[in-house]
Amino acid sequence: MAIKPEAQSKVSLERHGLTDEQLVAILRTMLMQRTLENRGFQLNRQGKIPFASASEGHEAVQAGAAMAFERGKDILVPYYRDLGLALGIGLTPYEVLLSLFARAADHSAGRQFPHHYASRRLGLHTISSIIAAQLPHAVGAAFALQYSGETGRAVLTTFGDGATSEGEWHESVNFAAVHTLPIVFLCENNEWAISTPLSKQMGQPDVFKRAEGYGLPGGVVDGMDPIACYAAVGAAMQRARSGGGPTLVEAKCYRFLSHTTDDDDRTYRSPDEVQARRKDDPVPCFERLLVERAVLNAEQVEALKRGVLEETNDATDRAEAMAYPDAADLYEKVYAEGWEPWTV
């Protein structure tokens, strides 16, 4: 297996089979995630949207994992911090902004929480804010694949370090191990669960050791290195698709911003602590790496950034111009059939 039970080295250009185009696509996803996330915070501060999530520091793990996801085959059951994963498997910035603006054209007609996307087209399961609630669903989807004899497909599900303290996490990991399910559990360990540090969550720092107790192989990967994350998640997905069973991949990353636009992290951690971790910021690190290794030159990086900003601006304007849902449609897209099913 490609992952080892200790953190891997810093960003290198061990390609793991990735072409230049794929490396640039990974960087573009990371830049888009950061730009869109920044847009969410700007729109919130302008009073145009009520809420946005923060995922700065998670770009590498998400863009790398998305590259290991096979579109049209695999199923993604993510959590609320997975903007980059959703973009990486094909969700458009416009769809993200429709969610943030809660417009009628949004997949849920503006009913879901902001940043809680879903797409049948992409195999993207809808997101729950309830910590760990997605995991029994993910395991159920993996069980369904196995039960119906669909080989060559797997489920990728994600969660934070805090989620591993929930009962659903333990039940899901155990069930997956018992039934040798085609699933990968990807933990985005950012050391915080809102204001609760990892040291107050667990008696030791490694989530993968919790899974080992249930018989799941796994290990740690440097969550600031997108190529290492691609390799680790890719190997685990391949194992799942070919009947080898579940794996837990723990990506060590860091949350640079407050939990959401509703949180102020200065109340529970020092700005100095956060600043010290910025040296590992995966976006400038990966950008630098691709320039140093001549995959891109400085002008090409600038053109990539310009393109990302233009697409974000265009998507913002188009989504903002869309209509709000009609109050009369309140119960649409809530139940599969009919209105007010409790009356029948």
Ligand X SMILES: Cc1ncc(C[n+]2csc(CCOP(=O)(O)OP(=O)(O)O)c2C)c(N)n1
Alpha carbons 236 and 70: distance in angstroms, whole number: 13
CB closer to ligand X out of 277 and 305: 277
Nearest to 220 by CA among 231, 211, 207: 207
Q: How far is CA 130 from the centre of its chain?
A: 15
Alpha carbons 97 and 87: distance in angstroms, whole number: 12
Residue 161, interface with Mg ion (CB under 5 A)?
yes
* Binder of ligand X out of 13, 130, 178, 334 (CB under 6 A): 130
Question: Strands across the sheet with 218-222, in order?
Answer: 75-77, 155-160, 183-189, 247-252, 218-222
Catalytic pick among 39, 125, 241, 255: 255
CB-side exposure of 225: number of CA atoms within 13 Å?
21
Residue 94, interface with ligand X (CB under 6 A)?
no
Partner interacting with residue 194 (select from Mg ion, ligand X, none; CB below 5-8 Å by kind): ligand X
Q: Check if 16 is active-site.
A: no
Whether 81 contacts 58, CB under 8 Å: yes
Nearest to 294 by CA among 8, 10, 23: 23
Stretch 248-287 residues interacting with ligand X (CB under 6 A): 255, 259
Stretch 151-210 residues interacting with ligand X (CB under 6 A): 159-163, 188, 190, 192-194
Q: Check if 255 is active-site.
A: yes
Per rule CB under 5 A, count of chain residues that contact Mg ion: 6
Catalytic pick among 170, 268, 269, 277: 268
CB closer to ligand X out of 160 and 219: 160
Residue 190, interface with Mg ion (CB under 5 A)?
yes
CB closer to ligand X out of 55 and 316: 55
CB closer to ligand X out of 54 and 122: 54
Burial class (CB in 10 A: 0-12, 13-18, 19+), 266: exposed
Stretch that binds Mg ion, among 75-83, 145-153, 185-193, 236-244 (CB under 5 A): 185-193
> What is the SS3 assignment for 189?
strand
Minimum distance, C-beta of residue 79 to ligand X, in the bound complex (Å): 7
Interacting residues toward Mg ion by CB under 5 A: 160-162, 190, 192-193
Question: Catalytic amino acids?
Answer: 255, 259, 268
